[in-house]
Amino acid sequence: MNLTEFAKEVHENAVNHGWWEQEHSLGEIIALCHSELSEALEEYRNNKPLMYYHCDSHNTRLMCPDKYDGCQYGENKGCMQRKPEGIAVELADCIIRILDSCGKENIDIESVIKIKHEYNKTRPYKHGGKVI
């Protein structure tokens, strides 16, 4: 599966889960992407790992640092739901929102990324003196 096909799958999942019962403006989509990036920043500011899990177990939130700690669904700690959290997860949420939008608009995002990447290779060092 390529990235454009994955975008279609992501959009189909969003539709199936009710996120497109009404249209969203480009501004709303961008704001939602921004909120995911802000959540990634908050995870970083709170010194959280790139990825970890929160487990709901008997109304107690357990932080499970990795996928091999026995906090899998229904395993040792009685974890009923295991939600991935962390900086990497919030970045993934932003990408998922972008892919959802691309899937809705039938954007061949894989081709667009390749075109933009090839153009970026031709740009001058730091684009003429930009800091970051």
Q: How many domains does the chain have?
A: 1
- The pLDDT of residue 111: 97
Q: Which helix (H) or strand (E) holds 91?
A: helix 87-104
Task: Give me the tens of pLDDT residue by residue for the chain, a chain 132 residues long.
Answer: 899 999 999 999 999 999 999 999 999 999 999 999 999 999 999 998 888 877 665 555 555 555 444 454 444 445 556 678 899 999 999 999 999 999 999 999 999 999 999 999 999 888 877 777
pLDDT recorded at residue 73: 41
Q: Is residue 52 part of a domain?
A: no
Query: Token pair for residue 33?
Result: 């992407």
In this structure, is residue 107 part of a structural domain?
A: yes
Asked if residue 32 is part of any domain, the answer here is yes
CA distance 100 to 9: 8
| Residue 69 placed within a domain | no
Q: Which residues form the domain of 107?
A: 3-39+96-127
pLDDT of residue 70: 42
In the prediction, which pLDDT does 54 show?
A: 72
Answer for the pair 38, 91: CB distance below 8 angstroms, yes or no: no
CA 80 from centre of chain: 23
pTM: 0.81
Rounded CA separation 112/123 (Å): 17
The single-letter DSSP state of residue 55 is E
